[in-house]
Amino acid sequence: MEFKNMCTRKIRQGLIDKDFSAKEIVDYSLERINNSEEKIHSFIELSPDLAYKKAAELDDFVAKGEKLPPLAGSIFAFKDNMNLIGTHTTCGSKMLENYDSTFTASCVKHSIEAGAIPIGKNNMDEFAFGSSCETSAFGPTYNPWDLERVPGGSSGGGAAAVASGQVTVALGSDTGGSIRQPGSFCGVVAMKPTYGIVSRYGVVAFGSSLDQVGPFTRNVYDCALTLNALSIQDPQDCTSHPLDVDYTANLDKDLKGKKIGVIPDFVETDGIAPDIKAAYKDAIAKLKDLGCEIIDVSLDHAKDAINAYYILGPCEAFSNLSRFDAVRYGFNLPNSNLDSQTSNSRGTGFGNEVKRRIILGAYLLSSGIYDKYYYRAQQVRSLITQDYTQAFEKVDALVMPTTPNTAFKLGEVSDPNTMYLSDIFTVSLNIAGNCGLHLPTQIGQNSNLPVGIQIVGPAFKDENILQIASNLEKEYKFYENYERITRNF
């Protein structure tokens, strides 16, 4: 029995019908990972003991005739900034190479309670600082579509694991596009929910006002079902919002009368690859055919989002990373006095990109600089949020590119500023707190790589973008053509 292309519904139903056992699913997944991991390197750590323990629990439920939870039997992987007892949580860094998780993150706990089988922890850019999954202290992850190319970042390991059929679902974190951009590069459904829908408790913070956990899946239904499991109010996260929404409920409803906003300036921007433009225009045409009204809107301050983000993000990262001081936990390089011990340990334990952002954050928060940059970035944040609010008074959702380009080759982008521009279409959502989803639609004629679109919705209307994505998915049938890639591993 092959499980690589099975969706969550088929896996659960197969367990109920006793077509296979949860143990067999784990056996298959581990074998598939072992056969492909040398090429892809999507994992930092596997957790077979935890997987078999959960499988045994599910098989016991079946034997007793008990009702199975909604995600029963689905193989899940978690970005390695999410704590899980029984695993390390390294954040892709030498600083935390030997750190044992002392508790389990709420998003991980909720997934497992919903029946997910925890197979391991995915590779990532160090402390989520990166757009290519090349900054990990444990080596890069490779894009399954083309092993010479990056999978995107910072959640590249999760996107690659889902794309290659190693797992059913992977959870990533998105601070400025770190779920949606790798989803675009690897050709999988990738969602950043509204800020506050998914608890951040137990997820090592990059930018606390920007971070959000979300899923990678091979279809929209699996994404919506996973969000059902994750969207539980958590008293341990003060930003967690109370909701009672079934995100699968409206997936089959048609789109007649839906108002879709487009931003003409976005696609006329220099530097957007022809395949990206073609996918965007084709999706707009498909939406018209589905009965949507296409309306031009403007986001006047979106062009400033990348600048605001690379002020706000490093400032929050500087604060969050101050806890890694070589005293309480983390990499420790002993020295004769506390000052040199902390300095030398951080200098050795952190990679170059992490140190770059720490230094930038320290500078931006320094006296005389704070008002000039950080305060103004917060003002821009308010303006961007206002632009989205005004746009969503006219439309139900926005459609835009996810990335300006398809996946680039490893080592091809060495300039940090060029790398940062990979997130030009994604960062404004994190700044405003809105929801966004990347939907793969086709293979680019020029690049021969997956391309798609980004669907953006107002805060706490995540069901809207899932409904739109589900309708488009039926038109493109990208998932049905998925065998092209997964057969190679």
Q: Average pLDDT, stretch 77-85?
A: 98
Q: From residue 283, how far is each of 268, 397, 457 by CA, in Å?
A: 16, 13, 16
| Model confidence pLDDT, tens digit, residues 287-318 | 999 999 999 999 999 999 999 999 999 999 99
Q: Average pLDDT, stretch 154-179?
A: 97
Residue reference for tokens 């976005």: 266
Q: How far apart are CA 265 and CA 175, in angstroms?
A: 24
Catalytic residue among 79, 94, 109, 192: 79
Q: How far apart are CA 137 and CA 223, in angstroms?
A: 30
Q: Average pLDDT, stretch 49-63?
A: 98
Pairing of strands 293-296, 189-192: unpaired
Q: Which residues pair with 217 in a beta bridge?
A: 189
Q: Which residues pair with 260 in a beta bridge?
A: 294, 397
Bigger pLDDT: 330 vs 147: 147
**In the numeric block, which tokens belong to residue 359?**
């230094």
Query: How would you label 399-428 residue by residue, b for 16+ Cβ within 10 Å and e otherwise?
Result: bbbbbbbbbbebeebeeeeebbbbbbbbbb
Q: How far apart are CA 77 and CA 121, in angstroms?
A: 6
Tell me the DSSP string of 357-422.
Answer: HHHHHHHHTSTTTHHHHHHHHHHHHHHHHHHHHHHTTT-SEEEE-S-SSSPPBTTS---HHHHHGG
Instruction: Give the list of residues 6+ apart from residue 373 with CB closer than 8 angstroms, or none.
Output: 311, 364
Whether the predicted pLDDT of 391 surpasses 90 = yes
As a dihedral over the C-alpha atoms of residue 335, residue 339, residue 340, residue 342, rounded to 10 degrees, the angle is 80
192-201, 363-372, 408-417 — most confident range: 192-201
Q: Which residues pair with 451 in a beta bridge?
A: 442
The confidence score (pLDDT) of residue 326 equals 84
Catalytic residue among 178, 199, 231, 447: 178
The CATH number that domain 8-258+395-486 falls under is: 3.90.1300.10
Query: How would you label 174-194 residue by residue, b for 16+ Cβ within 10 Å and e otherwise?
Result: bbbbbbbbbbbbbbbbbbbbb
Whether 154 is catalytic is: yes
Domain boundaries, the chain: 8-258+395-486
Whether 184 is catalytic is: no
**In the numeric block, which tokens belong to residue 165?**
């059929």
Whether the predicted pLDDT of 228 surpasses 80 = yes
Q: Average pLDDT, stretch 333-341?
A: 80
The confidence score (pLDDT) of residue 110 equals 98
Q: How far apart are CA 258 and CA 261, in angstroms?
A: 10
Q: What are phi and psi for residue 440, nearest 5 degrees?
A: -70, 140
Whether 93 is catalytic is: no
Q: At 390, is the pLDDT very low, low, confident or very high (cuts 50, 70, 90)?
A: very high
Q: How far apart are CA 178 and CA 81, in angstroms?
A: 13
Whether the predicted pLDDT of 486 surpasses 60 = no
Q: How far apart are CA 9 and CA 489, in angstroms?
A: 23
**Closest Cα partner for 398 from 308, 282, 299?**
299
Q: How far apart are CA 408 and CA 182, in angstroms?
A: 11
The confidence score (pLDDT) of residue 309 equals 96
Q: At 485, is the pLDDT very low, low, confident or very high (cuts 50, 70, 90)?
A: low
Q: How far apart are CA 131 and CA 128, in angstroms?
A: 8
The confidence score (pLDDT) of residue 275 equals 96
Whether the predicted pLDDT of 335 surpasses 90 = no
Element (H, E) at 462: helix 462-476
| Model confidence pLDDT, tens digit, residues 111-151 | 999 999 999 999 999 999 999 999 999 999 999 999 999 99
409 close to 150: Cβ distance less than 8 angstroms: yes
| Model confidence pLDDT, tens digit, residues 395-452 | 999 999 999 999 999 999 988 888 988 899 999 999 999 999 999 999 999 999 999 9
Catalytic residue among 36, 154, 184, 199: 154
The confidence score (pLDDT) of residue 334 equals 79
Whether the predicted pLDDT of 79 surpasses 60 = yes
Q: How far apart are CA 283 and CA 133, in angstroms?
A: 28
Which three-class secondary structure state does DSSP give residue 436?
strand
DSSP 488: T
**In the numeric block, which tokens belong to residue 336?**
């004769």
**In the numeric block, which tokens belong to residue 489?**
């591993």
The confidence score (pLDDT) of residue 483 equals 63
| Model confidence pLDDT, tens digit, residues 4-46 | 778 999 999 999 999 999 999 999 999 999 999 999 999 999 9
Q: How far apart are CA 363 and CA 368, in angstroms?
A: 10
